[in-house]
C-alpha cells in the first residue's frame, strides 16, 4: 500500500500536470485571439461582438454543467478571459500591444525617421520591426493596407521647416496621429577611413542630408554630390567601394551600422537641428486625461473678415494653448489657405470636445488629425513619460468616442451646429468665384442627366448666356426603375467638367455612394446629395471629410428637423460648406410630381444659417409650373435655384416633363429679375 505522503505527492503531481495543460490551453487560446484580431483588423470588423460573447459564455456553461464543473466559477473565469481578449484586440488594433512585435513603416533605411521610430519603440519598451518604404506616401499606403501597425513621418525640422509631403498625406488620408517623437538630428560625414576634407571626391546622401548640410558641403572643393534614395543605401555603397575619398552623410548610429567611421560631426547648417516626427495609426488611441496631450487639426477659415482670428479665439477663450500654426495652400484654390493647428488639449476631455464643436461652426472645414501624448509641449513632459496607452480598462466604446463626433447634449437639438444658436450670421459658401448664401442669389442650371458631350456643351452655353452661374448635370442617376437610364457615370462627369471649363462655370453633380466621394470631390465644385440619399448616413459622414461644398436635397418624406439632422452629420465631421435644397415632398396631392414646400424657406432661414436653394423642377414635375415656383422661391427668400434645362426637353432621357427648353429658361431668368426678394 502506498504511503499517504506519496499518494498526496502523486495527486499533486497530477494537479501540476493539469495546471500545465490549463495554462498551455490558455496560451493557445490567446494565440488564436491574436489571429482573430488580425482577421478583424484586416476586414475592419468591430472588435466587440456581444452576441458572440454571450454564445461563448452559454457554451462553456453548458460544458461545465455536463462535466460537473462549478458553473459560476467557469462563468467568472470566462468573463475574465473574454475581457482580456477584447482588451488585447483593442491594443493590437491600436498598434500598441507590447507582447506583439509592431511593424512600423519608415521612409528610408537609417534615415532620421528610421532612428526616431527606433527611439519611439525603445522608450516605450515595445518590440518592433521597421519596414522601409521608398516614400512617405508608400509608408502611409502600407499603414492603410494593414501591412504595418504604425508609420513614422517627419512633420517639421527646426532648420528646413514643415515637411509638405507629410501635411498633404495627413490631409488626404484617413489615419490618426497617435504620437510624436522629436529627435536631434546630428548630421555627420562618414567614410571608410579618415581623410583630409580636400581629398573627398564624392558625397553620397539622401535629399534631406544634402539640403540640411548645404553650407558645409560648399566648403568641400573637390566633392561631387550624389543623391541617394536613403542613407542606408548611400552608406552601403561607400562601404562597398572601400574608397576613402567617397563619403556619406548620416547619423553616427547609421555609420556604425554600416562599418563606417565618423569623419566630422555636426555638419548641418544649424547647430540646433531637431526634427519632429508624427506617429500614425489607422485608428485613434485615447490618451489618459492625466497625461500631457496635444491635438492636431486642419482648419479652413470662412471667407469672412477676421475669420481665422475668430477660430483661433475659440481655442484661446476655452483655455487651450496653441503650439503650432502653419498655413498651406488649399488644393485647387489658388491663393487660399488652410491651416494646420496644434494645441494642448485632449479630445477625450469634454472641455476640448466643446471647443472643437465651437471651432467647427466658426470654420468652413475642420479635420481632427488626432490627440496624442505630447512630448514637445512647454509643460514638463519628458519624451517617453506619457506613453500612449490603451488604458487597461479602455473599452471599445471609449475608442469609438474618439473616432466619432460627440453626440448632441440632451439640452440641444439634433442639429446643434446647423442651428442659428451656433452661428447667427448666414454661412456664405464660396464656389469658384461665386458666393452662395447671405445676401446673394444665383441659379444652377443644366440637364437632369448628362447624355452626350454635344448635349451638355450646348446646354452649358445656353444657360450661361441666359445668366446661370453654375452648371448642373447628373451622371450617377438614382432612378426609380433599374431599367431606366442610369447615367453616363465617370465618362459623363468628364463631359460635364469639360463643358464647365469651356463656359467658365463651376459644376454640380450628384454623388450616390461612399466610394465615389473622394474621386468626385476632385472633379466637381459642388457635390449634390439626392433626395433618396438624404439619410444615407455613411455617405453624409464621408462628405463631412471632404473640402467641397455639398448641396443636400431634402428627403422626399423628411421633416425639416430630420433634414437639419442630416446636414448636421456633415457639419459634425468637419465640413461646414453645406447648402440645403428644397425639392418637394410627398403629400396626398397628385397634380404635381411633389409638393414644393415653400414654407420651408422662411422656416429654414429662421432655424439655420446654411444657404437655402430651391429646385422647382423636381418640386413640380411639370415644365409649366417651374417658372412661377422659381419666382415664388426667390420672393420667399431662397438663396438660389436649381433648374433642369435640356436642348430638346421632350427627348430628355430623364425628367423630360419638367425640363425647360433654352427659350423657356431664358424667359424664366428674365422674369426672375422682376422679383423682389424677401427681406
Ligand atoms: C436630380 O437633381 O436630378 C435629382 C435626381 O433630384 P432629387 O434627388 O431631388 O430627385
Ligand atoms: Mn432630375
Which ligand 1 atom sits closest to the C-alpha of 529? Answer: 8
pLDDT for 401: 37
pLDDT at 409 over 70: no
The mean of the pLDDT values for the chain is 88
Percent of the chain with pLDDT over 70: 91
Give 70-93 pLDDT, tens digit per residue: 998 898 898 878 877 766 665 555
Mean pLDDT of 440-445: 95
Percent of the chain with pLDDT over 90: 65
Which ligand 1 atom sits closest to the C-alpha of 449? Answer: 3
Give 28-39 pLDDT, tens digit per residue: 998 898 888 788
What span, in angstroms and rounded, lies between the C-alpha atoms of 674 and 482? 42
Lining residues, ligand 1, CB within 6 Å: 448, 474, 478, 530-531, 553, 583, 618
C-beta of residue 322 within 8 angstroms of C-beta of residue 342: yes
What span, in angstroms and rounded, lies between the C-alpha atoms of 639 and 579? 9
Mean pLDDT of 325-330: 86
Reference 130, options 160, 156, 108; nearest CA is 108
pLDDT at 618 over 80: yes
Centre of ligand 2 to C-alpha 502, Å, is 23
Which ligand 1 atom sits closest to the C-alpha of 532? Answer: 8
pLDDT for 160: 77
> What is the value of pTM for the model shown?
0.66
pLDDT for 47: 64
Residue owning the nearest CA to atom 5 of ligand 1? 530
Centre of ligand 1 to C-alpha 516, Å, is 17
Residue owning the nearest CA to atom 4 of ligand 1? 530
Centre of ligand 1 to C-alpha 535, Å, is 14
Residue owning the nearest CA to atom 9 of ligand 1? 531
Which ligand 1 atom sits closest to the C-alpha of 554? Answer: 9
Mean pLDDT of 250-254: 91
Residues near 258 by beta carbon (within 8 Å), at least 6 away in sequence: 110, 190, 232, 235, 236, 238, 239, 248
- How remote is the C-alpha of 425 from its chain's centroid? 28
pLDDT for 335: 76
pLDDT for 642: 98
Residue owning the nearest CA to atom 3 of ligand 1? 448
What span, in angstroms and rounded, lies between the C-alpha atoms of 234 and 167? 27
pLDDT at 400 over 60: no
* Bridge partners, 327 (sequence order): 339
pLDDT at 211 over 50: yes
> CA torsion sign, 613 to 617 to 620 to 621?
negative
Domains of the chain: 43-92 (no CATH), 102-179+283-373 (3.30.70.260), 188-265 (3.40.190.10), 401-478+487-672 (3.20.20.70)
What span, in angstroms and rounded, lies between the C-alpha atoms of 475 and 480? 15
pLDDT for 377: 40
Phi, psi of 639 (to 5 degrees): -90, -10
Mean pLDDT of 19-24: 94
Q: In 514-659, which residue ranges form alpha helices assigned H by DSSP?
A: 517-523, 537-544, 560-573, 600-607, 616-620, 623-636
Out of 449, 475, 478, give the residue to mutate to test ligand 1, the one with the largest number of ligand atoms within 8 Å of its CB. 478
Residue owning the nearest CA to atom 10 of ligand 1? 531
Centre of ligand 2 to C-alpha 615, Å, is 10
Torsion of CA 473, 477, 479, 485, to 10 degrees: 80
Reference 323, options 290, 263, 285, 372; nearest CA is 372
pLDDT band, residue 303 (cuts 50/70/90) = confident
Cβ-count burial 452-467 (b if 16+ within 10 Å, e if not): ebebbbbbbebbbebb
Ligand whose nearest atom lies closest to the CA of 533: 1
What is the tally of helices (H) and strands (E) in the chain? Answer: 22, 25
| Residue 675 vs residues 83, 275, 463, 628: alpha-carbon distances, Å | 67, 61, 19, 11
Q: Which helix (H) or strand (E) holds 423?
A: none
Q: Which of 407-416, 428-437, 541-550 has the highest mean pLDDT?
A: 541-550
Give 449-487 pLDDT, tens digit per residue: 999 999 999 999 999 999 999 999 999 999 999 999 999
pLDDT band, residue 127 (cuts 50/70/90) = confident
pLDDT at 579 over 90: yes
- What is the SS3 assignment for 305? coil
How is 49-116 classified by DSSP, letter by letter? -HHHHHHHHHHHHHHHHHHT--HHHHHHHHHHHHHHHHHHHHHHHTT--TTSPEEEEEESTTSHHHHH
Mean pLDDT of 289-303: 87
What span, in angstroms and rounded, lies between the C-alpha atoms of 592 and 626? 11
- What is the SS3 assignment for 511? coil
Better-predicted residue by pLDDT, 395 or 210: 210
Quote the radius of gyration of the chain (alpha carbons, Å).
31
Centre of ligand 1 to C-alpha 618, Å, is 7
Residue owning the nearest CA to atom 1 of ligand 1? 448
What span, in angstroms and rounded, lies between the C-alpha atoms of 292 and 380? 9
Three-class SS of 407-422 = CCCCCCCCCCCCECCC
Out of 496, 579, 618, 641, give the residue to mutate to test ligand 1, the one with the largest number of ligand atoms within 8 Å of its CB. 618
pLDDT at 380 over 80: no
Q: Are β-strands 102-107 and 128-133 bridged in parallel, bridged antiparallel, or unpaired? A: parallel
Residue owning the nearest CA to atom 8 of ligand 1? 530
Amino acid at each position: 500500500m502506498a504511503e499517504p505522503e506519496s499518494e498526496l505527492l502523486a495527486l499533486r503531481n497530477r494537479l501540476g500536470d493539469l495546471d500545465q495543460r490549463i495554462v498551455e490551453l490558455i496560451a493557445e487560446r490567446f494565440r488564436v485571439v491574436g489571429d482573430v484580431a488580425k482577421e478583424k483588423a484586416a476586414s475592419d470588423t468591430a472588435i466587440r461582438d456581444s452576441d458572440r460573447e454571450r454564445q461563448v459564455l452559454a457554451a462553456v456553461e453548458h460544458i461545465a454543467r455536463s462535466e460537473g464543473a462549478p458553473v459560476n466559477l467557469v462563468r467568472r473565469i470566462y468573463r475574465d478571459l473574454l475581457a482580456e481578449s477584447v482588451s488585447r484586440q483593442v491594443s493590437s488594433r491600436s498598434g500598441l500591444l507590447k507582447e506583439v512585435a509592431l511593424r512600423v513603416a519608415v521612409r528610408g533605411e537609417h534615415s532620421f525617421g528610421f532612428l526616431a521610430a527606433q527611439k519611439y519603440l525603445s522608450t516605450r519598451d515595445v518590440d518592433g520591426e521597421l519596414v522601409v518604404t521608398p516614400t512617405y506616401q508608400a509608408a502611409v499606403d502600407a499603414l492603410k493596407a494593414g501591412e504595418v501597425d504604425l508609420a513614422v513621418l517627419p512633420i517639421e525640422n527646426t532648420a528646413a521647416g514643415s515637411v509638405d509631403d507629410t501635411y498633404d498625406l495627413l490631409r488626404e488620408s484617413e489615419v490618426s496621429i497617435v504620437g510624436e517623437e522629436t529627435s536631434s538630428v546630428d548630421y555627420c560625414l562618414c567614410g571608410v577611413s579618415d581623410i583630409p576634407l580636400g581629398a573627398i571626391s564624392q558625397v553620397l546622401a539622401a535629399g534631406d542630408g544634402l539640403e540640411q548640410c548645404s553650407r558645409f558641403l560648399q566648403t568641400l572643393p573637390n566633392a561631387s554630390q550624389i543623391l541617394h534614395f536613403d542613407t542606408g543605401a548611400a552608406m552601403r555603397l561607400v562601404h562597398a567601394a572601400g574608397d576613402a575619398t567617397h563619403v556619406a552623410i548620416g547619423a553616427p548610429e547609421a555609420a556604425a551600422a554600416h562599418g563606417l567611421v565618423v569623419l566630422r560631426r555636426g555638419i548641418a547648417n544649424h547647430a540646433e537641428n531637431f526634427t519632429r516626427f508624427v506617429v500614425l495609426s489607422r485608428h485613434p488611441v485615447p490618451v489618459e486625461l492625466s497625461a500631457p496631450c496635444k491635438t492636431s487639426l486642419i482648419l479652413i477659415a470662412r471667407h469672412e473678415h477676421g475669420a481665422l482670428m475668430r477660430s483661433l479665439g475659440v481655442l484661446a477663450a476655452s483655455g487651450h494653448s496653441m503650439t503650432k500654426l502653419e498655413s498651406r495652400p488649399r488644393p485647387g484654390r489658388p491663393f487660399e489657405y488652410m491651416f494646420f493647428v496644434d494645441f494642448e488639449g485632449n479630445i477625450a476631455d469634454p472641455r476640448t470636445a466643446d471647443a472643437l464643436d465651437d471651432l467647427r461652426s466658426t470654420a468652413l472645414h475642420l479635420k481632427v488629425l488626432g490627440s496624442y501624448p505630447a512630448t514637445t509641449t512647454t509643460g514638463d513632459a519628458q519624451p517617453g513619460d506619457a506613453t500612449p496607452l490603451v488604458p487597461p480598462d479602455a473599452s471599445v466604446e471609449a475608442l469609438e468616442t474618439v473616432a466619432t463626433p460627440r453626440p448632441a447634449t440632451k439640452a440641444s437639438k439634433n442639429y446643434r451646429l446647423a442651428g442659428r444658436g451656433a452661428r447667427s450670421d448666414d454661412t456664405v459658401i464660396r464656389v469658384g468665384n461665386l458666393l452662395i448664401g447671405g445676401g446673394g442669389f444665383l441659379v444652377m442650371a443644366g440637364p437632369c442627366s448628362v447624355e452626350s458631350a454635344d448635349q451638355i456643351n450646348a446646354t452649358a452655353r445656353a444657360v450661361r448666356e441666359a445668366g446661370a452661374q453654375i452648371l448642373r448635370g447628373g451622371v450617377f442617376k438614382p432612378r426609380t426603375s433599374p431599367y431606366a437610364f442610369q447615367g453616363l457615370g465617370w465618362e459623363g462627369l468628364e463631359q460635364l467638367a469639360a463643358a464647365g471649363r469651356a463656359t467658365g462655370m463651376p459644376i454640380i453633380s450628384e454623388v450616390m455612394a461612399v466610394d465615389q466621394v473622394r474621386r468626385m470631390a476632385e472633379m466637381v465644385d459642388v457635390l449634390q446629395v439626392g433626395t433618396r440619399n438624404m439619410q444615407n448616413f455613411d455617405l453624409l459622414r464621408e462628405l463631412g471629410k471632404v473640402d467641397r461644398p455639398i448641396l443636400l436635397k431634402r428627403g422626399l418624406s423628411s421633416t425639416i428637423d430630420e433634414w437639419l439632422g442630416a446636414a448636421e452629420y456633415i457639419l459634425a465631421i468637419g465640413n461646414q460648406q453645406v447648402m440645403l435644397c428644397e425639392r418637394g415632398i410627398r403629400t396626398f396631392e397628385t397634380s404635381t410630381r411633389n409638393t414644393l414646400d415653400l414654407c420651408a424657406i422662411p422656416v429654414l432661414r429662421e432655424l439655420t444659417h446654411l444657404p437655402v436653394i430651391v429646385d422647382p423642377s423636381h418640386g413640380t414635375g411639370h415644365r409649366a409650373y417651374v417658372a412661377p415656383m422659381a419666382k415664388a422661391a426667390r420672393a420667399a427668400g431662397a438663396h438660389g435655384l436649381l433648374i433642369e434645362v435640356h436642348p430638346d426637353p421632350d427627348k430628355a432621357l430623364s425628367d423630360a416633363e419638367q425640363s425647360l427648353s433654352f427659350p423657356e429658361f431664358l424667359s424664366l431668368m428674365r422674369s426672375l429679375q422682376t422679383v423682389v426678394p424677401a427681406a
